[in-house]
Amino acid sequence: MSRIGRKPIPIPAGVKINSAGGKVEVQGPKGKLLVLVPTQIKLEQKDGILTAVRDNEDHRALHGLARALLANAVTGVTTGFKKELDIVGVGYRAELKGKSVAFALGKSHPISFDIPEGIQVTVDKQTHIVVSGADKAQVGQVAADMRSLRPPDPYKQKGVRITGERLKKKAGKAGAKAGT
C-alpha cells in the first residue's frame, strides 16, 4: 500500500469539498481550487477526514499522487503557500507597478513581469519579493519564472535567487589571481 496514499487528510472548519466524476472542488477562506483526480481513486469523507482509496493494485502509482494533490489543495485554501526571492547585485531591484513587477537586473532595459490571476506579489526593500497564493504549483512556477529572468551567476553570485538557496561559488580564472 502507498504510505502517502493511506494518510488521512484532516478537513479544517470552513472548507467544503465537492467531488463529481474525476473533479474535486475544494473551497475555503483563501479561494476555490479544482483538482483533477483519476477516476480509479475514490474519495471517502466522514467525520472531518478525507481519505483516498484505490480500486486495485494496478493504480498504486496514482494513489499517493491523488492524495498529495488533495492535501495541497486543502492547505492552499486554508493557509496558502508562499515563496520568497532575493535579488542580489549592485543596482538590481524590483518595483511593484499595478498588476506587474518591474525588474532592473543589469540589462539595457527594465523587465516587466505580469502577475497571473490568483497570485499575490509583495516587494520589500526593493530586493526581497514574496510570491503567495492558494495553488502550490502556480506559486512555484511564478517564482521559477521570476528567477529565470536573471539566474544567479556562479562566479559573482549576482541575480535572483530563492531565499535560503545555497549556491556553489566558482573560482574563476587561475591566471588572473597569479598576476601573470
Q: pLDDT tens, 64-77?
A: 888 888 899 999 99
Reported as a pLDDT band with limits 50, 70 and 90, residue 24 is confident
- Show the cell assigned to 17: 469539498
* Whole-Å CA distances, 109 to 100, 106, 159: 16, 8, 16
84 has a pLDDT exceeding 90: yes
Laid out side by side, the sheet with 111-114 consists of 93-97, 100-104, 111-114
Average the pLDDT over 117-129 and give the result: 91
- Show the cell assigned to 80: 496558502
Average the pLDDT over 23-33 and give the result: 89
Domains observed in the chain? 3-78 (3.90.930.12), 81-162 (3.90.930.12)
Percentage with pLDDT > 70 across the chain: 96
CB 72 within 8 A of CB 139: no
Distance CA 133, CA 141 (A): 11
Backbone angles phi, psi at 127, to 5 degrees: -125, 5
Distance CA 134, CA 78 (A): 8
Reported as a pLDDT band with limits 50, 70 and 90, residue 100 is very high
DSSP H stretches of helix in the chain? 3-6, 60-78, 136-147, 174-178
112 has a pLDDT exceeding 60: yes
